[in-house]
Structure 1
């Protein structure tokens, strides 16, 4: 355990160093603070987008789901992969072409200033829920590891994340995301390789999985599982490729870098979908009783399976590296939320408020206000996570899915459909959301899973089938009812009464007009490559030192190989930062 604590401590030093190194790049203007001035290269943007869909939930709630139910968990992450493919094919480079600093500015251009203000309030509140889920997941995991009270853990971790996020702005957020991607890759691949060796290969892992690997236990109607997978595809597109979540791609240097970033995120998510869950799948047969000691977590005990695998099956120090990666993953998720909220408040609420009163504020003052907003948002997230921690009867995976399907989907439906349905009245977005929330309520209280099952002659559902059926009903309701309603509002569109018509037309013109750079390396490009290359070198050195931990020879060799791979990436980054001199 001593080595695990040491690894975590050193990793926190690295993350803090990244924040300090990149803080200067975020202090020039609010645009730099919110989105890096739109100057980031594809590998930074792509890794950040990937990490945005990756949080502690993956190694806790989702791992617990994989440990209990087998392959079924992949439905969510394959949905993410498909959404990134759609982003590469259509969305991401167009989002970069909107030429805005924040997502709500894009909403204002598309739907008008009243809708911009409405979504600003709504999205800030929603971010409390979403980031609260992430922080709660990390609190559950770390409290199980360190044996501390979960509420105290949430507060301590939350305040640490708050400090880092306020310091560094978008540059620090995205830079740390890139480093965290490497950590996640190292931990995931190393654990997956060891798991396959220990279990006797993938065939043995599948054959020995209790309850059946593909379907899992408590699933009498496999068609429900297939339906969950099918409906997760549109669900993930709605929640990932909309005007709000466009903020992930506003950082890109140009249209080409945004498109390439989506391809990187898709590739990482596709490989990760399988690699992440090999350890819990293997653990189901190797150490089936591993989580029985976590009775203090109630129904969430299975969420500690990844740590138990790392502690029991991996070399000493790996569990600490895993915990460091989990801390960092949640930091990246919270950082993004705090940074985005600051941008939304300043650009879509505070500045318009000043404009109405014929007042102006310097960019320096706006930057100061942005940091204050980030602080307030961070405290709100901590309080939200604290509340979620009291819901002992709800697993983390179910909590994540419930928040996403019941609240997030109806909010994002008009922000996706509005990209394609151009002529809609001003009231269409918020009325669609109200209808969507009613649809969510209807599925929970009236048209429940049991009612739907009865219509097909099914007498009873297991708890797992009931959860999956509720997900199907909720997503289907939002795709066909909520989305269908928004489309139908176009029949009520009156061009003569559309006060935002001119700006909407300009918005769609920009939406299709590429952002093109000269393709030459500038000083900002070199700074990104050079600074991150140095940080990656430092991290590789730390992992190399882990080979000194008194482990079996195979464990030491594992750390050396991981360190060499990461050092190679750092070398390539530093080399690419050099100015190329063309001889004549």
Structure 2
């Protein structure tokens, strides 16, 4: 990077911080901080939902998969997410929006105390928070890895820089700042991604190379939808898992649906996000697929291939813009996760363990929310410095194995608990399915016998935990039904369409922490 590239990067950081401070005026209480007061336009919610769904891991871990296996990276990642989010437009997005407006909650998990009980709520909250600290830590490490390639600064320095800037705008402006910065980040990534695509096509001889390039020996096997450990079973497992994760199972996407003005608008935002997932990753992935023709990756997992490709193809100025694109995705996901975790900690965990927290007013609750956001970012940054340790192995292992394998036991009781079909599943079903899902994850990923570990495919490492959780959640609900009139009434409130009596049971959330 030269002076022009640094100017682009610094200008980007300045704009993100400015948006954060501008958003500060729109945040009066925790309802604004965590759910934008239910006033976010559906199109902004949809773009924010999409942008908060992936990070610089795409340009490191998934770039490595693209370099080695080609189009497999799209068909076993973006494609199932697009389908899952499209399904969620009907199944989950409207219910999550009604959960905010009719149950008067500011956190995705607040309703769990009444849907199940306090222990269930706390189990899901604590385990999800711990998982997200590790997950976001992997994201910081990914962007710092890219930054080190372009600038030569250390991984730790890169983590501190990106984390500190993200902390400023997302702590000051809350969900409004997250969504508005994600809109700006989407515009930047649109230009950067198209610039990279045009540069790659020009290097290969024009638009015709989109079809002709696959005959090259280096890309002979790059046209297969599934390859290596990313098999058809992996694709189906990922479709199932990502349907839960990207429809609110890990909370930050749930906030986007909660933030819109109505259930119908939430569904429209989900459809927009789904359409973007179908189309936009194709633009980003193509240069990664043809990278073996242009660069030679130095790392064993080829996670540096996209950075090397960018250095070769783009002139200064555009190079800085693409680096900004790396930052845009990572900062979008990490800031949205930080806001979601702060919501869960201040609205669900803190009141359960502290009487003082239960008595917080609007002002103190907002201060606590911002302090929790900073604490989460700090812990995830500390984890990021250890991402290459033997315990975590590497970035892509954390993102694919840990998150995909653990999201099911956390997400299934949360999301299925909203649906009438599963009303018989109560606290016992939720806790047992959660606990044994976690046990299953440990057994298939870290068995006592190393020979057994080597024989368990990646598709089973991520699918077995969620399958066990789902089966137990449904089966225990039928064996030991725990539906009560109170729980049935709660489910009815989030499922009734229109503005009828069921919809009018509870008004919009009151302003202030004490609401709900």
TM-score category by the smaller chain? 0.7 to 0.9
> Are 1:88 and 1:263, in contact at CA under 8 Å, matched by a contact in 2?
yes
Relative distance call for 1:379 and 1:141 in structure 2 (3 A) is same
Partner of 1:109: 114
Match of 2:134 among 129, 138, 162: 129
Q: For residues 415-437 of structure 1, give each alpha carbon's deviation from its aligned partner in whole angstroms, at most 9, with x where no partner exists.
A: 33433421124232222122112
Deviation at 1:205, TM superposition (A): 2.3
RMSD of aligned residue pairs (Cα, Å): 2.7
Deviation at 1:268, TM superposition (A): 0.8
Say how many residue pairs are matched: 486
Deviation at 1:251, TM superposition (A): 0.9
Partner of 2:505: none
> Are 2:408 and 2:465, in contact at CA under 8 Å, matched by a contact in 1?
yes
Q: For residues 103-130 of structure 1, give each alpha carbon's deviation from its aligned partner in whole angstroms, at most 9, with x where no partner exists.
A: 1113223222332222222222222011
Deviation at 1:168, TM superposition (A): 1.2
Q: Which has the higher contact order (CA 8 A, sep 6+)?
A: 2
Q: Which moved more, 1:230-239 or 1:413-422?
A: 413-422
Relative distance call for 1:23 and 1:214 in structure 2 (3 A) is same
Relative distance call for 1:491 and 1:274 in structure 2 (3 A) is same
Q: Residue 411 in 1 paired to residue 394 in 2?
A: no
Distance 1:218 1:122 in 2: 32
Partner of 2:62: 62
> Are 2:413 and 2:430, in contact at CA under 8 Å, matched by a contact in 1?
yes
Q: For residues 32-56 of structure 1, give each alpha carbon's deviation from its aligned partner in whole angstroms, at most 9, with x where no partner exists.
A: 0111011100111101110121211
Q: Counterparts in 2 of 1:66-105, with a 5 A limit?
A: 66-74=66-74, 75-99=76-100, 100-105=105-110
Q: Counterparts in 2 of 1:416-431, with a 5 A limit?
A: 416-418=415-417, 419=419, 420-431=421-432
Q: Counterparts in 2 of 1:383-532, with a 5 A limit?
A: 383-391=382-390, 394-418=393-417, 419=419, 420-446=421-447, 470-493=457-480, 495=482, 501-514=484-497
Partner of 2:233: 227
> Are 2:310 and 2:319, in contact at CA under 8 Å, matched by a contact in 1?
yes
Partner of 1:214: 223
Match of 1:276 among 284, 292, 306: 284
> Are 1:38 and 1:250, in contact at CA under 8 Å, matched by a contact in 2?
yes
Deviation at 1:451, TM superposition (A): 6.0
Q: Which moved more, 1:48-57 or 1:106-115?
A: 106-115
Q: Counterparts in 2 of 1:237-386, with a 5 A limit?
A: 237-242=243-248, 244-245=250-251, 246-287=254-295, 289=296, 291-292=297-298, 298-300=299-301, 302-352=302-352, 360-386=359-385
> Are 1:448 and 1:470, in contact at CA under 8 Å, matched by a contact in 2?
no
SS at the partner of 1:424?
coil
> Are 2:249 and 2:407, in contact at CA under 8 Å, matched by a contact in 1?
no
Q: Counterparts in 2 of 1:35-46, with a 5 A limit?
A: 35-46=35-46
Partner of 1:50: 50
Distance 1:475 1:120 in 2: 21
SS at the partner of 1:410?
helix
Match of 2:149 among 131, 144, 159: 144
Q: Residue 199 in 1 paired to residue 204 in 2?
A: yes
Q: Which moved more, 1:183-192 or 1:262-271?
A: 183-192
Deviation at 1:62, TM superposition (A): 0.8
SS at the partner of 1:511?
helix
Q: For residues 396-443 of structure 1, give each alpha carbon's deviation from its aligned partner in whole angstroms, at most 9, with x where no partner exists.
A: 323310112332232223333433421124232222122112222222
Structure (1 or 2) with the larger CA radius of gyration: 1
Relative distance call for 1:341 and 1:218 in structure 2 (3 A) is closer
SS at the partner of 1:330?
helix
Relative distance call for 1:357 and 1:506 in structure 2 (3 A) is farther
Distance 1:148 1:391 in 2: 23
> Are 1:141 and 1:303, in contact at CA under 8 Å, matched by a contact in 2?
no
> Are 1:60 and 1:141, in contact at CA under 8 Å, matched by a contact in 2?
yes
Deviation at 1:262, TM superposition (A): 0.6
Q: Which moved more, 1:129-138 or 1:387-396?
A: 387-396
Q: For residues 5-50 of structure 1, give each alpha carbon's deviation from its aligned partner in whole angstroms, at most 9, with x where no partner exists.
A: 1110111111111111111102x11100111011100111101110
Relative distance call for 1:113 and 1:395 in structure 2 (3 A) is closer
Deviation at 1:450, TM superposition (A): 7.5
Relative distance call for 1:265 and 1:217 in structure 2 (3 A) is closer
| Structure 2: gaps spanning 5 or more residues | 500-516
Q: For residues 514-555 of structure 1, give each alpha carbon's deviation from its aligned partner in whole angstroms, at most 9, with x where no partner exists.
A: 477xxxxxxxxxxxxxxxxxxxxxxxxxxxxxxxxxxxxxxx
Deviation at 1:510, TM superposition (A): 1.8
| Structure 1: gaps spanning 5 or more residues | 293-297, 453-460, 517-584
Relative distance call for 1:184 and 1:359 in structure 2 (3 A) is closer
Distance 2:56 2:446 in 1: 30
> Are 1:18 and 1:172, in contact at CA under 8 Å, matched by a contact in 2?
yes
Distance 2:225 2:490 in 1: 48
Distance 1:357 1:472 in 2: 45
